[in-house]
Structure 1
Amino acid sequence: MDETQLLEHLRTLRKANNTAPHKPLLLLWLLRRFTTTGSTWVRYADVEKPVGELIDRYGKPTVKPLPDRAAMPFVHLERELWDVRDGADEPIDTSVPERGSWLREREAHGRLHDSVEHLLRDPEIHAAAQKTLLTHFDPDTAERVVIDIGGRTPAASLEYTGTHHPEKRHRGEDFDRRLRTAAMEWLQELADQGQETVTAKQLTEFRFEGQRIPLVGDGRRVWAPPPLDAALSIRGPVPESEADDGLARFGYDGEEPSAEEAIRRALERNAPLVWFVEVDQDLYLPHFPVRVVADEPAERRVVLALSGESPEENDSDERRYGERLVRSRLHQKVFSARVLLAYGAACAVCGLHYPDLLDGAHILPDGHPDGRPVVPNGIALCKLHHAAFDRKLIGIRPDLRIEVAPWVRADRSDNLMARYGLRDLHDTRLTVPRSPRDRPNREALEVRYHEYLRHVGAVERSR
């Protein structure tokens, strides 16, 4: 699907029923979710209340609002755009009942197709999609809809402002220093707002002091945007190789001579860089500041301090420890970002979709021989269920069913979190990614589940 086809699909939604805004409202809600979480994956149970309230507010009036009005668009949204499946990951077609109870019982969940999400990563296409959906409403209603969904006016929501940075003209600072400061402040602002990963499109549209200055170059791993002559950023995976000094190495073999010169100038000037760590295609986790601290021309590589400190700022033992700690944290952040991306930024146990409350949890921990930082060794879990998983209050069987520890199930207190957050999860099914390659590794689950059973047995014997 291309941009033209996507917008045409969004325009023709009205032909199904000119008076029903159900589908546009669901899609506008999904676009907002995509902006905040990076994914449109959602359970029907999480859609029912917010989208149902939007339909009650902006749809055709009814004598008594129905609790499951969101079921209609969830079931009937065009399959060219939308994929709906049950808890066993089997497709749900449009002939099923439009009943919330039916969808909840079957753990129905949906997601816009990968091709649609790929298009929506482009801020201009995202804005065009939202603008097209808002044409299903009169202007006054459209403004209220956007405010209800995202808290911003249509004009603001359709303007891509993420790459605009206020001018910073501090006397005595040269353009190079001002640009580096502005770029890193902007990236930090995004992270503070919950957007830890950035797209290539965002990075190429960065604006500073009235100019468009890309923070990455097309196909280039080392980038010095004009008019800079020293490298501003580098792209690549988290470095795996490590020398005795604890510092990272970045190979520039295959780069153009200008790139080699640019990264050496960054070394000469002790200039801070941004390392854009690859998370997925055209998706990066920024790490900054990074400094080039040495050149190893025989190996065609430079030495990097991921902590941003120059070697003379620390003794060797402290620096080595600091660099290893930074690398470990960076590995964990990249692992977590990849896991959350695969799981649609939602807890695999309860469906909570607030990114700030989610972790990429290891099935087998770092210290285990098979505890690699790869998506099949991870599960997206909210803070509560991550802690419950680590403390063995819940276990996950190899068949993806959740098992709650016997003493937790036996607790009959009236505490709502204990009941709905733990006890009622027993024998429910884990929600896993659509792609088989991202689903939990069965062998890893078996090892972890046997650890859970041993713990349960020990606790039961001691009671």
Structure 2
Amino acid sequence: MLNIDLRIRQAAFKRLEAISQAPSGDVSWNAIAEPLPFDDGAIYLASRAIGIFKPKQMPDGILSIKTVVPKQGRTNIYADGTSDEGGFWYSLEAGGLTKSANRQLMISYERKDPIIYLIGVAPGRYFPLWPCIIDSVDTQQEICHVSMHDHTDVLRDVAEPTAAYRVDGLEKRHLIREVKTRVHQAEFRARVMQAYSSRCAMTGLPVPQLLEAAHIIPDSHQASTAEVSNGVLLTGLHHRAYDAGLVGIDPNYRIHVDDALLATKDGPLLESVKQLHGQQISLPRNAKQRPDREALDLRYQKFRGK
């Protein structure tokens, strides 16, 4: 029979698997904070007040660490503490080993416990990574390094094949690149969602589950940026149409529908797209977050030239 430490970690990982089903991968704090039934009581995955967390039922070590995006947001959405070593830097509590949380983190570091890293991508929203390993600690600088590779023999016993990020059989660099890409995508979407008040810029649809952050200058282009001003919030359908060159947005924020599409006659869904022709997109209240006109013009010229 598994000891209580492993049982808590397994239960926590299964909960994360259940609540992390959205394509974007990010999860609300309310979902994370929901008590998880365990034996005759309940455990929690994290604490709102502290970053380094140990459930009271866990004898020692930690279950999770958490970074937070304040309500005013960040100036640079890529400032997530990524490292050249293939992971993430995380700050300890100030005070070194005089702090109980840091001492418990050291226990998990020494044992190589699988833990959860909740990366804040927007106020009240997190991108959960699990299982993670603390693979180094610098008590003088009060930082530790967190990664999702190595020690697969330890992870295999706890993560099982249900964890969202599997480590077995994956080459180290590929795994870290995939993880960082997904974190950045989730952060970009969360910021764009916030800027557009969770409404499609073309249709006004207010259903977050159906909305995506479309890049104006594609992410693969060397001129692309991760700023909100390089994004537009669209439904999945309109995002695909925008990327396919069937719909364009000019520098004055007007919507243009491809001539061939305008001439096509079909059902009400296509008609709803055609009716957008000549309309203006809805814009964020914050002028700095509105689509960059130069980026729109570059993309619009491509739309016109096909």
TM-score, normalization by structure 2: 0.77
CA contact (8 A) 2:211 2:234 kept: yes
CA contact (8 A) 2:22 2:209 kept: no
d(CA) in 2 for partners of 1:215, 1:265: 18
One-letter amino acid of the counterpart of residue 439, structure 1: R
1:225 aligns with 2:55: yes
For 1:248, the equivalent position in structure 2 comes to: 88
1:362 aligns with 2:202: no
Q: How far did residue 364 of structure 1 move?
A: 1.9
For 1:6, the equivalent position in structure 2 comes to: none
Residues 453 and 260 of structure 1: CA distance in aligned 2, closer, same or farther (over 3 Å): same
One-letter amino acid of the counterpart of residue 90, structure 2: F
Q: 2:11 aligns with which of 182, 187, 190?
A: 182
Q: How far did residue 408 of structure 1 move?
A: 2.3
1:433 aligns with 2:284: yes
**Structure 2, unaligned runs of 5 or more:** 69-77, 156-166
For 1:283, the equivalent position in structure 2 comes to: 125
d(CA) in 2 for partners of 1:441, 1:401: 13
Residues 382 and 195 of structure 1: CA distance in aligned 2, closer, same or farther (over 3 Å): closer
For 1:420, the equivalent position in structure 2 comes to: 272
1:349 aligns with 2:202: yes
Q: Once structures 1 and 2 are overlaid, which stretch shifts more, 193-202 or 231-240?
A: 193-202
Residues 309 and 339 of structure 1: CA distance in aligned 2, closer, same or farther (over 3 Å): farther
CA contact (8 A) 2:122 2:190 kept: no
d(CA) in 2 for partners of 1:433, 1:351: 12
> What is the SS of the residue equivalent to 2:90?
strand
**Structure 1, unaligned runs of 5 or more:** 1-171, 456-463
d(CA) in 2 for partners of 1:294, 1:311: 16
**Residue deviations 1:357-382 (CA, integer Å, cap 9, x gap):** 32111112223445232322211112
Residues 352 and 235 of structure 1: CA distance in aligned 2, closer, same or farther (over 3 Å): same
> What is the SS of the residue equivalent to 2:137?
strand
For 2:178, the equivalent position in structure 1 comes to: 325
One-letter amino acid of the counterpart of residue 277, structure 2: H
For 2:301, the equivalent position in structure 1 comes to: 450
CA RMSD of aligned residues (A): 3.2
One-letter amino acid of the counterpart of residue 174, structure 1: N
CA contact (8 A) 2:122 2:187 kept: no
1:384 aligns with 2:215: no
Q: How far did residue 270 of structure 1 move?
A: 2.7
CA contact (8 A) 1:223 1:259 kept: yes
d(CA) in 1 for partners of 2:24, 2:259: 39
d(CA) in 2 for partners of 1:342, 1:351: 13
For 1:17, the equivalent position in structure 2 comes to: none
Q: How far did residue 300 of structure 1 move?
A: 3.4
Q: How far did residue 296 of structure 1 move?
A: 4.1
Q: 2:109 aligns with which of 267, 287, 293?
A: 267
1:398 aligns with 2:251: yes
CA contact (8 A) 1:295 1:302 kept: yes
d(CA) in 2 for partners of 1:438, 1:223: 35
Q: How far did residue 319 of structure 1 move?
A: 0.4
Q: How far did residue 224 of structure 1 move?
A: 1.8
Indicate the structure (1 or 2) with the bigger Cα radius of gyration.
Answer: 1
CA contact (8 A) 1:200 1:216 kept: no
> What is the SS of the residue equivalent to 1:278?
strand
Where relative contact order (Cα < 8 A, 6+ residues apart) is larger, the structure is 2
Q: How far did residue 320 of structure 1 move?
A: 1.7
1:334 aligns with 2:187: yes
CA contact (8 A) 1:230 1:265 kept: yes
d(CA) in 1 for partners of 2:41, 2:207: 34
Q: How far did residue 427 of structure 1 move?
A: 0.6
CA contact (8 A) 1:224 1:233 kept: yes
Q: How far did residue 175 of structure 1 move?
A: 2.3
CA contact (8 A) 2:81 2:90 kept: no
**Residue deviations 1:140-177 (CA, integer Å, cap 9, x gap):** xxxxxxxxxxxxxxxxxxxxxxxxxxxxxxxx222222
d(CA) in 1 for partners of 2:95, 2:219: 34
**Residue deviations 1:199-226 (CA, integer Å, cap 9, x gap):** 4455445243343544323442222232
For 2:41, the equivalent position in structure 1 comes to: 211
One-letter amino acid of the counterpart of residue 192, structure 2: V
For 1:34, the equivalent position in structure 2 comes to: none
Q: How far did residue 447 of structure 1 move?
A: 2.8
Q: How far did residue 196 of structure 1 move?
A: 5.2
**Residue deviations 1:80-101 (CA, integer Å, cap 9, x gap):** xxxxxxxxxxxxxxxxxxxxxx
d(CA) in 1 for partners of 2:200, 2:115: 34
